[in-house]
Amino acid sequence: MKFTLIKNIQSDKAMSLILKGFLLFILLYLISDISVKYYSFGISIDAISTTLFGNEEEFIDPITKSSFLEFWHTEIFFMMMILLTLSAIFIRLANKSKIAMTNILMISAIISLVSLPMSYFVSSDFIYIYLLTFFIWHLSAIYMILYSFWKLNDKSI
């Protein structure tokens, strides 16, 4: 995370190029995360409910507790890596919106992570919260990536 030590990231051509590539990879990860969840776990109320609790009419078994915990553990790890590095880049480049956007991103991601096991272990009503916060943190992260790209390409700074 050398970029946290460079005074002006935009003027350092090598670091600017590295950060642009890294932002591109994060963007690809976020897009693929949505598509992978769509085809495996689900990104609708019914699909997530079927994954978590099964469907007797369609003979679909619910996800096992160990598989769910493994999925959740992986989610925590990848979200942590994405959120911390993206926030560090965004905070270095943003002027006015950095506090609000970083808080929206982090809070929605944490609520998303907490509401998922709450859906599984406590009540299926938490699926609504999970789905809402899942899309909020993804959209916030995509905004932060695009804004960071724009700031890295801004020659007037």
With beta carbons less than 8 A apart as the criterion, state whether 93 and 7 touch.
no
pLDDT tens track for 42-64: 999 999 999 999 988 888 899 99
Count of alpha carbons within 13 Å of 23, Cβ hemisphere only?
A: 25
* pLDDT band at residue 12 under the 50/70/90 scheme: low
Q: How far apart are CA 88 and CA 51, in angstroms?
A: 34
pLDDT (tens digit per residue) in 65-122? 999 999 999 999 999 999 999 999 998 888 888 899 999 999 999 999 999 999 999 9
Cα–Cα dist 97/102, whole Å: 8
Mean pLDDT of 123-142: 96
What residue spans define the domains of the chain? 12-153
Looking at residue 8, its pLDDT comes to 64
